[in-house]
Every structure is written in C-alpha cells, then in structure tokens.
Amino acid sequence: MRRPLPPVARLEAIRILLAFAASKGFKLQQMDVKSAFLNVFIEEKVYVRQPPAASTVYKLRKALYGLKQGRRAWYARLKSFLLKCGFVMGSVDNTLFLLSRGGGTLIAQIYVDDIMFGGSSHALVFSFAEQMSREFEMSLMGELEFFLGLQIKQGPEGTFVH
C-alpha cells in the first residue's frame, strides 16, 4: 500500500497568507531548516547500494533528500514539534499553523523545509524563531524577501509580490 506524500503549501495559500499578513500589519519573516531530512529517522526499511564496483548494501537510518519517505518523515517531525509548541494546524491547509498566545497571534506557512511566518508582536515572532533555532539548525532567517520564486517587498505602503 502506497502512503500519500505529505502536503506542501500551494501557491494560492501563500498568496492568501501574504494578503492576510499585509491586512493585519504583520511583517513576515522567513527561515530555512538546514539539512532538514537529516533531522529525522525513517520508519520504513530502505536499503541503498553504492556504485556498481561496490558490493555492499547499507540500511538507511535517516532520511535523504529525494527519498519519498524523507519528506513524509520530516513533515511529521516538524508538525509534531509545532503542535507541541501550542500551534493549531489549519483545518483546510495542513501546511498552515496558527499560534494564539497572550492575546497575540503568530502564523506559519510550511513548504517542506522553508518556513514563512509572522505575527502580531515582535516578541512572539522572536520567540518562535528562538524555539526553532533551539530545535533545528536554521539558516536564511530574516525578513521575507524571496519565497518559492516569488520576490516579496514589504514596506509601510504595502506588500508587493513580483
């Protein structure tokens, strides 16, 4: 039986989040989890072989990029972490996570190992970035400028997508 691939954010969902964030005055940030798939163990038995000259076969313990099980295992690991942190997963979009804390709101959109997020307070945004950095090795943290081929410019006059 084939297991379905984990969800990935659709471009429409990303555009809706950009519009929502702009309407609420959220300054969106971005982060990338370095070597995300190496952060997870895979449940299935997967064996790999070296190039033809080698005769040894190895059993994989951790996921690799390009391995279907890797993306599924990574999504499960990240989802579990976010839920443990108090996020609620979107009922329609399983790549959208919402956190309500102390009267503030933080929203995060996941695309495999790329995360776009923003919130109603700098403290909430900073706290989330810190939590992620403690749990995973992060890179490309900062104001959202590029996401999945979209160039995004956020400023006082609005958010522009090219």
Q: Tell me, what's the pLDDT at 149?
A: 82
**Pairwise CA distance, residues 76 & 3, whole Å:** 13
Listed in sequence order, the DSSP H helices in the chain are 11-24, 68-84, 122-135
pTM exceeding 0.85: no
DSSP state of 155: E
Q: Residue 125 falls within a domain, yes or no?
A: yes
Structural domains counted in the chain: 1
pLDDT of residue 20 exceeding 70:
yes
Find the CATH number of the domain harbouring 16. 3.30.310
Q: Residue 48 falls within a domain, yes or no?
A: no
Domain that holds residue 26: 11-34+68-161
Q: pLDDT tens digits for 84-113?
A: 999 999 998 999 999 999 999 999 999 988
Q: Residue 76 falls within a domain, yes or no?
A: yes
Contact criterion met (CB below 8 Å) for 95 and 9: yes
